[in-house]
Chain A
Amino acid sequence: MLEIKNLHVKLADEDKAIIKGLTLTVPKGEVHAIMGPNGSGKSTLAYVLAGRADYEVTDGDIIWNGESIIEMEPDERAAKGVFLAFQYPMEIPGVAGLTFLRTATNSVRKKRGQTELTTPEFLKVVKDRASKLNIDFDMLKRPVNVGFSGGEKKRSEILQMAMLEPSLCVLDETDSGLDIDALKVVSDGVNALRSPDRAMLVITHYQRLLNHIVPDKVHVLAEGRIQKTGGKELALELEQSGYAEFQGKAA
């Protein structure tokens, strides 16, 4: 279970508060969606879950599997099952996709006490998972994300997720930039990972994604806090009403 308790976050090198008292619980086996206006702190929340050093937790706590993770390094969190699919995946010139995937996969396997995959084992798994996501295997020989289209980058994130087999999946606007077919393929990939052992937090602006990845709950994040929580029908309502009612209120 993911428990975010009264979380306060500011920029590490500036006195700018972004998340201001956010509380949220996602039990294992559930998928929760987070929606909210631009600049409300959704990506910040995602980064803080993954351990990005640009942000500082000033109050509150994040508990994953009964353990506080806010003091952990990003790689330690990844080993504990935390995975963030980035809103803007980064390009890594000079590092081949396969090298990256293999190093990542074996790093977490090692930390989790699993045996590391040999090259043939790894290649077999990666080929299989890439083809399910309609990713051309040759693309993985290129440097990570370099020259990839927006949609290719998003699929590459989901492939990384499939390889790392995380237990807490945080998807930050994975649907943006995907065409209709790709949205279906990626959603199938995400749904394939749904299991009683996994919790998922899906950040999106569009109700459309939630037709494919049906959430157990929908939360509205505005001005650094959860303003409203509902079932999947809340996404439809928001599509009609927008976020006006949640904005301009003092936190």
Chain B
Amino acid sequence: MMNVAVMKTKFEQSLTEQFNHVSARLPGGAAVGVARTAALGRFSALGLPNRRIEEWKYTDLRNALKEPLAVAVDDDTKVTVADLIVALGPLAHLEGPRIVFVNGGWRRELSNLEGAEGIEVAALGATLTAAQDKIGEALAGTTGPDNDAVLALNTAYMTDGAVVRVGDGIEVGKPLLLVFMRAGSEGRFVATRNVVSIGKGAAATIVEAFIGLPGSTAEGQHNSATEIHVGDNARVTHVKIAADTGKATHLSNWMVGLGAEAVYRGFQLNQGLGLARNQIFATYHGEGAKLDLSGLFLGRGAEHIDTTLVVDHAVPRCESRELYKGVLDGEARGIFQGKVIVRPDAQKTDGKQMAQVLMLSPDAEFDSKPELEIYADDVVCGHGSTAAELDTDLLFYLRARGIPLDTARSMLIESFVGEALDRIEHEGVREVVLDFARGWLSKLGR
């Protein structure tokens, strides 16, 4: 969709203008440079998405993000291992290799890739510089929508991220943790990109964490994109934990491509984000693949959390499941948009979608927009969404057994979200997500 010519906001202006100053310091060779310049051109032409664009009608970024932000390049904010452990919270106990980025830059001294057996992990920045044009071409052929201004900004400004590869037939036991930390005294614009490739018949668990360093500014905007290619017969668990302190902006795109008979389970936790837009674009390339997307969004205050999924059944006999749970307090706003496309050839498609929200406050708001675009005739597709309050009868029952109100509420909320958390197959990761959610719940009513 084209944007009519409008006055650029300060944010749009600043992001357009800074390119000339920083582009020389962004990693990559000529091909990457060309891709960046083209992407910036798209961003300048489109501007940030606004509510007149159908997909963005509930989340008007142009209106919400007006203030100029400095782009983070070669950030050198000091962060120690001890700082990292504190910031990781429940994630500190997750066993497995980790690669750490602070304000969009790889920190070798905070990363620990020992024990990353069977999984190749490298920093994107270094990779772009070393193998310039190969990666550049790969990025130019990205699977995301080319009219998405957020993704365009990412391509233009990405500083770093993880390049992950699991070879054919390799089963990786421990989860790989990608940490993106916000730190420092000033809010920045940070763009990172991950490129993940899982070989045929391989298995892996990958966790992305977006966290803030305690004591830092709560402001800032992180623009993140992950491209993941899941080979035929591969099994992947892909989890995002975006847990911050309540003011930061989180814009995220996942582009998922599934091979034949592949099983992909994606989960996203959102809490403590001032404004979040989580987009997932999933496309089936081979028959018989299974996609399971689930998530939990927890909002309070004036937080705004948007999940927008586009699942493209391009080939026959694939399955998609979406289960999202939200808990909204204060004046928080939750949005769930789930589009399922079933192409004419995609017979025997089996798709089910559900979004359920618990409203803890009369001022909270939930908007749900399921969209089924079905062009094949032999398919089973369904969707639903609910918004309910805590059951006062059950609350009474728990309290009549001596359980204090706060605890009783937490127990009921936990039981409500449990069904979504159960979709995370890796037990250790599931426990970590539950710990984060409990941390959020423990601050209810304060």
Which chain A residues have a beta carbon within 8 Å of chain B's beta carbons? Answer: 50-53, 73-75, 77-79, 83-84, 86, 89-90, 92-95, 99-100, 103-104, 107-108, 111, 143, 160, 164
Contact = CB atoms under 8 A, between A and B. Distances in A.
Given A94-B419, A95-B412, A78 B407 contact: no
Given A94-B414, A111-B402, A103 B396 contact: no
Contacts of B403: 75, 103-104, 107
B84 to A, nearest CB: 32
B400 interface: yes
A27 to B, nearest CB: 24
Interface residues of B, number: 22
A75 B394 contact: no
Contacts of B405: 73, 75
Given A86-B397, A94-B419, A104 B402 contact: yes
Nearest to A77: B400
Contact of B418 (A75, A90, A94): A94
A43 to B, nearest CB: 13
Contact of A50 (B400, B404, B412, B414): B400
* Closest CB pairs A-B (n = 3): A94-B415, A78-B402, A108-B402
B394 A92 contact: yes
B407 A74 contact: no
A37 B430 CA distance: 52
Contacts of A90: 393-394, 397
Interface in B360-401: 392-394, 396-401
Nearest to A80: B402
Contacts of B402: 75, 78-79, 104, 107-108, 111, 164
Contact of A103 (B392, B411, B419): B411
Contacts, number: 73
Interface in B216-264: none
A74 B399 CA distance: 5
Contacts of A100: 398, 401, 411
B407 A73 contact: no
Contacts of A84: 400
B407 A107 contact: yes
Given A75-B399, A75-B401, A92-B398, 10 more contacts: A51-B396, A77-B400, A78-B401, A90-B394, A92-B394, A92-B397, A92-B415, A94-B414, A100-B411, A104-B398
Given A73-B405, A75-B405, A107-B407, A93 B415 contact: yes
Nearest to A144: B397
29 contacts: A51-B400, A53-B392, A53-B396, A74-B400, A75-B400, A75-B402, A78-B400, A78-B401, A78-B402, A79-B402, A83-B400, A89-B397, A90-B393, A90-B397, A92-B398, A93-B415, A94-B415, A94-B416, A95-B412, A95-B414, A99-B411, A100-B398, A103-B403, A103-B407, A104-B398, A104-B402, A107-B404, A111-B402, A160-B401
Q: Residue among B393, B394, B398 with the most chain A CB within 10 A?
A: B398
Contacts of A74: 396, 399-400
Interface of B: 392-394, 396-405, 407-408, 411-412, 414-416, 418-419
Nearest to A93: B415
A99 B403 CA distance: 12
A51 B401 CA distance: 11
Nearest to B401: A104
B309 to A, nearest CB: 25
A100 B415 CA distance: 11
Contacts of B398: 92, 100, 104
A18 B396 CA distance: 20
A227 B41 CA distance: 87
Contacts of B415: 92-95, 143
A75 B402 CA distance: 4
Contacts of A53: 392, 396
Nearest to B416: A94
B28 to A, nearest CB: 48
A73 B399 CA distance: 8
Nearest to A92: B394
Q: Residue among A50, A75, A83, A164 with the most chain B CB within 10 A?
A: A75
Nearest to A78: B402
A53 B398 CA distance: 13
A160 B418 CA distance: 24
A78 B399 contact: yes
Contacts of A51: 396, 399-400
Contacts of A164: 401-402
B342 to A, nearest CB: 32
A39 B322 CA distance: 46
Nearest to A50: B400
Contacts of A75: 399-405, 408
Contacts of B411: 95, 99-100, 103
A84 B398 CA distance: 12
Contacts of B393: 90
A153 to B, nearest CB: 12
A188 to B, nearest CB: 22
Contacts of B412: 92, 95
Nearest to A107: B402
B437 to A, nearest CB: 13
Contacts of A99: 411
A104 B404 CA distance: 9
A90 B392 CA distance: 12
Q: Residue among A52, A111, A143 with the most chain B CB within 10 A?
A: A52
Contacts of A104: 398, 401-403
A81 to B, nearest CB: 10
Given A79-B402, A95-B411, A103-B411, A52 B394 contact: no
A74 B402 CA distance: 7
B229 to A, nearest CB: 36
B16 to A, nearest CB: 49
B438 to A, nearest CB: 13
B398 to A, nearest CB: 8
Contacts of B407: 103, 107
Contacts of B399: 51, 73-75, 78
